[in-house]
Amino acid sequence: MKPAVKEFESIKKLYRPVQPTILPSFKIVSYREILPDPTLRNVIYCYWQLKTLEPLAHQFNYRVVADGCIDIFFNNQNISESFIMGFCKKYTEFPLENTFDYVGIRFFPSMVPQLFEVNAWELSDKAENLELVLPKIAKRLTESISPNMDLNLVAIHLDRIIGNVFSAAEFDKDYRLYKALHLILKNWGTIETESELDIGISPRQLRRIFNHYIGTTPKTFSKVVRFQNILNAKPSQQNLTQNKLFYDVGFYDQSHFIKDFKNFYGVTPTRAFR
């Protein structure tokens, strides 16, 4: 195992970047996640698919919440329509047609810049045409995957495509990046990034590293980590109100907690967990 990736193995155990699932009552849209090949599980969190099971009566608005990751995704009905979505500091809504089938790769934080030698900052808060950013990967997708292919078969091709990139990649040897990520994740994003991230470099240098590899500052990334840990906890209405969950995750008052949560999710915590 490559040294830098071995270092990241402990970090992946601390972070589960989740997206909201489709409500069980909404039975005509399906959302699935499957794991990549074991050799890629330090760099890829999952492969995912969002598709209609039958035509919808109206346009479907899909909300993507902030998760700290970079995704590559494509239209499984027309593989040439492929995109890369960078780190987002707030939720994003995608208006979709009444029939759709999208497949994506959710990479762990910092992995896309190291695999593909791109600057994460240049991808932040937008979805770009994959052909303009990673033309070789866009070409391999269209050459390898047939329209409407089953997700399990798509995953085999994605394992091969990303596996080839992974085997040739020269991962960053600056362990200060991994140490900073580890500290943030271990502390559930509640760490004071200016004073408590003691990794041997100045806050300015750390911001530069995070902008390149994550796509944002340590402070903003920590806020997303804190938000994601709330999603993973799946709190009840009682935890949100009576037990003062916002204190447990580092907020000093409920109003700031609600404001940050709504920025990352698009709705208030009460609506998200009802």
Task: Residue 129: give the domain boundaries.
Answer: 15-168
Based on the domain organization, do 150 and 201 belong to the same domain? no
Based on the domain organization, do 186 and 243 belong to the same domain? yes
pLDDT of residue 242: 60
pLDDT of residue 234: 77
pLDDT of residue 240: 67
d(CA 168, CA 170): 7
Query: 13 vs 72, 97, 155, 227, 263, CA distance in Å?
Result: 22, 36, 22, 17, 26
Are the C-beta atoms of residues 108 and 171 closer than 8 Å to each other? no
Which residue positions in the chain have pLDDT lower than 70?
A: 1-7, 23-25, 172-173, 236-246
Q: What is the CATH number of the domain that holds 104?
A: 2.60.120
pTM for this one? Answer: 0.93
CA nearest neighbour of 135 among 66, 82, 98: 82
pLDDT of residue 239: 66
Based on the domain organization, do 147 and 214 belong to the same domain? no
Assigned domain for 4 exists: no
pLDDT of residue 172: 67
**3-state per-residue secondary structure call for 211-244:** HHHCCCCHHHHHHHHHHHHHHHHCCCHHHHHCCC
The residue from 128, 148, 168 where one domain ends is 168
